[in-house]
Structure 1
Amino acid sequence: MDELGQVAGVSARQVEHVARRLLNSWPDTVDLRPSDLEMDEIHRAFLQLMTGLQDRGWMMYEALLVGAGPEPRVLDAVLTAKGRVALGGLDRSPSGAAG
């Protein structure tokens, strides 16, 4: 949990939002877009966050699509075992529920 703000230079709130979304959907996968995560105008931060979480081994995804639509998308994202341990201090909450 202490590392939340250190992921790819994005805010701890953004990391926590993604983590809750993934925790709420686990063990199922979820597709993610900046607009789903209140990051509408900051696609670069979204991309840094997604790759940062994957680089740490906290999540994995099937594909990262850039330039294939109006905003980037991550397909079939899921927390890894390492991610569940690192982010496990977060409670599942309705605010992070997949929609």
Structure 2
Amino acid sequence: MLTNMTTDQAQTMAVKALAFLAQDDELLPRFLSLTGIQANDIRTAAREPGFLAGVLQFYLAHEPTLMRFCEATGSNPMDIQRALHALPGGDEAWDRQV
């Protein structure tokens, strides 16, 4: 069972994941291709509800990418899942609370 994570903690985790992604010459192009976002639009998009959840979904959708991030940052893969559920667009229950 997943324990709760605050929205602030989840946002911190997602921003960390976004920063990791932005610095990686292999992951960033793949993320941009999958999302259709232009590199110069990431900062604007990051302020949109659901974008940070989408970043975490990107990691969770591909285990090698998830493990790469977790190993590089000392993160627990379950924390990524917990963070996703605490963000707008990451969990239907969250969306019903708003």
TM (norm. structure 2) is 0.27
TM (norm. structure 1) is 0.27
Higher strand share: 1
Higher helix share: 2
